[in-house]
């Protein structure tokens, strides 16, 4: 261990100007804008589900979709707030009410239908197509939010990462519910939260190394 005054000299010598981060609300809004752009692009490319207009009359569909959108927004805000050291951890509670509503409306049809038997033979079921859409939506969103939250790595903010994963899940599920018949929410949640668990596990084991990298760059 070098003496602390020497460390201070070293850090002062390596000081470079940094661009201050924008406020967490602004950054969350930027990311949500990206998410809505992805949603719009997919809906335009893929088209809404055949029974979309009927669904709009179905109260449970409307409430469930609103709840998943709410979860996505709440969790995104919480993730950006919690990535800063001095914000209250209670922000993590903010997506819970819409999450509870959303989970209470989730179906599990998608999980039960991976392969379909047709007169023509075996073919990929709805689940497989669901899954490819899922990856297409959640991957870019997850990568963007993790890059935007990278400064929280030295703080080891597992909670912020968890919130980010929840937000990506909720948004992906919303997109899928707009373009697919079967409700894929369970699969979406399992995929995204599984990814988050993997990220948190990896970062807690190699967290120190990442920190070292951050310092080397700084």
Partner 1 sequence: MPPSSTHHSPVLSVVEASLTAPRVPDVDWSILMARAQGGDAVAYRRLLEEIAPYVRSLAAKWCREPDQVEEIVQDTLLTIHAIRQTYDPARPFGPWLAAITRRRMADQLRRNGLRRQREGPLTREHETFPSTQANNPEDAPERRALGLAINQLPLGQRQAIELLKLREMSLKEAAVTTGMSITALKVATHRGLKALRKLLAGGEVR
Instruction: Give the binding site for partner 1 (CB under 8 A).
Output: 1-2, 4-5, 7-9, 11-21, 23, 83-86, 88, 151-152, 154-156, 211, 214-215, 218
Beta carbon of residue 141, minimum distance to partner 1 (angstroms, whole number): 22
> What is the spatial distance between Cα 121 and Cα 72, in angstroms, rounded to a whole number?
39
- Taking the C-alpha atoms of 3, 8, 9 and 13 in order, what is their torsion angle to the nearest 10 degrees? 140
In angstroms, give the least distance from the CB of 150 to partner 1: 10
Q: How far is the CB of 43 from partner 1 (least distance, A)?
A: 35
DSSP notation for 30-83: HHHHHHHHHHHHHHHHH---TTHHHHHH-HHHHHHHHHHHHHHHHHHHHHHHHT
Q: Concatenated DSSP letters for 86-146?
A: TS-GGGGGTTHHHHHHHHHH---TGGG-SEEEETTEEEE-HHHHHHHHHHHHHHHHHHHHH
Looking at beta carbons only, is 24 or 125 nearer to partner 1? 24
Nearer to partner 1 by Cβ, of 123 and 150: the residue is: 150
Phi-psi region of 115 (alpha: psi -120 to 50; beta: other; left: phi over 0): beta
Q: What is the spatial distance between Cα 63 and Cα 105, in angstroms, rounded to a whole number?
A: 8
- The single residue listed with the structure tokens 């990442």 is 210
CB of 4 to partner 1, least distance (A): 6
Report, in Å, the least distance between residue 162 CB and partner 1.
17
Q: Which is nearer to partner 1, 160 or 170 (CB)?
A: 160
Both tokens assigned to 99: 């999450």
For residues 19 and 106, give the distance between their C-alpha atoms in angstroms, rounded to a whole number. 42
Closest CB 12 distance from partner 1, rounded Å? 4
Beta carbon nearer to partner 1, 162 or 188: 162
**Complex with partner 1: residue 29 or 136, whichever CB lies closer:** 29
Residue placing its CB nearer to partner 1 in the complex, 124 or 215: 215
């Amino acid at each position: 261990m070098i003496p602390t005054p020497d460390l201070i000299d070293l850090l002062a010598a390596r000081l470079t100007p940094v661009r201050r981060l924008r406020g967490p609300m602004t950054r969350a809004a930027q990311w949500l804008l990206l998410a809505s752009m992805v949603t719009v692009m997919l809906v335009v490319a893929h088209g809404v589900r055949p029974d979309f207009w009927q669904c709009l009359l179905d109260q449970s569909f409307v409430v469930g979709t609103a709840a998943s959108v709410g979860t996505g927004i709440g969790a995104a805000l919480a993730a950006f707030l919690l990535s800063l050291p001095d914000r209250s951890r209670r922000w993590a509670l903010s997506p819970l009410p819409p999450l509870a509503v959303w989970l209470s409306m989730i179906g599990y049809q998608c999980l039960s239908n991976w392969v379909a038997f047709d007169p023509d033979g075996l073919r990929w079921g709805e689940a497989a197509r669901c899954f490819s859409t899922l990856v297409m939506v959640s991957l870019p969103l997850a990568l963007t939010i993790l890059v935007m939250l990278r400064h929280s790595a030295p703080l080891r903010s597992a909670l912020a990462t968890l919130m980010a994963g929840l937000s990506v899940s909720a948004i992906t599920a919303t997109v899928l519910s707009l373009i697919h018949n079967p409700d894929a929410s369970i699969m979406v949640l399992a995929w995204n939260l599984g990814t988050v668990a993997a990220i948190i596990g990896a970062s807690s084991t190699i967290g120190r190394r990442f920190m070292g990298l951050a310092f080397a760059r700084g």
